[in-house]
Amino acid sequence: MGFVEEYLPAMAMFGLQVTYAIMALLSRAALLKGMSPRVFVVYRQAVATLFIAPIAYFSRSKSRRVSMNLRSFSLIFIASLVGVTMNQNVYFEGVFLVSSSMATAMTNLIPAVTFVIATIVGMENLKMGSLRSMAKIGGTVVCVSGAMCMALLRGPKLINSTQGFGLKSTLFGVESGGQTAWLLGSLCLFGSCCCWSIWLILQVPASASYPDNLSLSAWMCLMATIQSAILTLLVEPINLQTWKIHSTIELICYLFSGIVGSGVAFFVQAWCVSKRGPVFSAMFNPLCTIVTTILAAIVLHEQIFTGSLLGGVAVIIGLYIVLWGKAKDYVKEEAKLGKPSFDQKEEICESLERRSTDQIDLEEPLLSSKE
């Protein structure tokens, strides 16, 4: 039990970030082979729905089944539209136009963007005299400055001096690898972070209205599949060739991102948050950026620029500053709910162990009965 509490959450988060890195590399490789970003989102959500829905249906008991009313349906529909359909479509368009390493680096903006949006809607309180509040503001500024540096100041190439692959985006009509594509891709990735942050905030009323989290995820995947299919039919030219699976890497990408990226990752993330809290889970986000950057430079020969590298480091530094500012808020929330923090749980376990040891020592006779 001690090993599980001490090491397994960290190992699970490490494996989860490696999984995200592999998914980013697979999707980038498949996109460069001609896979449509919008068709990819449709197939990914369809696979995720087929994976999660049976588990959600058979795992819940009859006494815990939750009925869906109009408010629940509306919240789930909006959350699916913003957090899945819009988010993933602009994200994978950005992956195609820029690179997988840039995409994973941009995702470190999510805590800072979430903090800004939550402050605007009144879900986050600021105390100007508090060091923690100043850290949140300062960390957000550092994150956004780093993202601007990544998008606007590419700088000289450090690794892989070859130019982009020259494939055109069907949405913007620009070739990947160019300066225009870099700027548009960066804007897409930033828009994805904003959509993801709004989705995180929408989770609060959606979960309160429909408290079955597993069924909630299944409904979101189903709605996102329908929404993404409609969006693809409106944006993409009507061509059956676009919907065909042309290569093995496309099939692997669909299955891996749907089952592992959307299905298994949900369970692992939820388990780690329940064990160590959201701050602990968020601390592992930069690991995905590091793994993706290294593998992308080796496997896909992606270009690494000086400005992008410095901007990525600034985003990661800003992320940890924001997380430090948010750490105490999480402890306060747990205290309000009457839940002990992780450190308090360890102290309780140690106290119980000492108490049980003392009890055993007192129960054992000082002299053996045989003597």
From its phi and psi, is residue 245 left (phi > 0), alpha (psi between -120 and 50) or beta?
beta
The pLDDT of residue 77 is 94
Q: pLDDT (tens digit, 0 to 9) for every residue of the chain, 371 residues total?
A: 555 566 788 888 888 888 888 888 888 888 888 888 899 999 999 999 998 888 888 877 655 667 788 898 999 999 999 988 999 999 988 888 888 888 888 888 888 888 888 888 877 777 777 787 888 888 888 888 888 787 777 667 766 554 445 566 555 556 666 677 788 888 899 999 899 888 888 888 888 888 887 888 889 889 999 999 999 988 887 778 788 888 888 889 999 988 888 778 877 876 776 677 666 677 787 888 888 888 888 887 777 778 778 888 888 888 888 878 877 665 555 555 455 444 444 454 455 445 444 444 444 443 444 44
Q: What is the pTM of this model?
A: 0.77
Domain ranges in the chain are 2-362
The pLDDT of residue 85 is 92
- The SS3 of residue 310 is helix
The pLDDT of residue 175 is 62
The pLDDT of residue 366 is 38
Kind and range of the H or E run holding 26: helix 8-32
SS3 labels along 181-247: HHHHHHHHHHHHHHHHHHHHHHHHHHHHHCCCHHHHHHHHHHHHHHHHHHHHHHHCCCCHHHHCCCC
- The SS3 of residue 304 is strand
What are the Cα distances from residue 240, in Å, to 113, 231, 232, 244?
38, 16, 12, 7
Using the CB atoms, write b or e for 331-370: b if 16+ within 10 Å: beeeeeeeeeebeeeeeeeeeeeeeeeeeeeeeeeeeeee
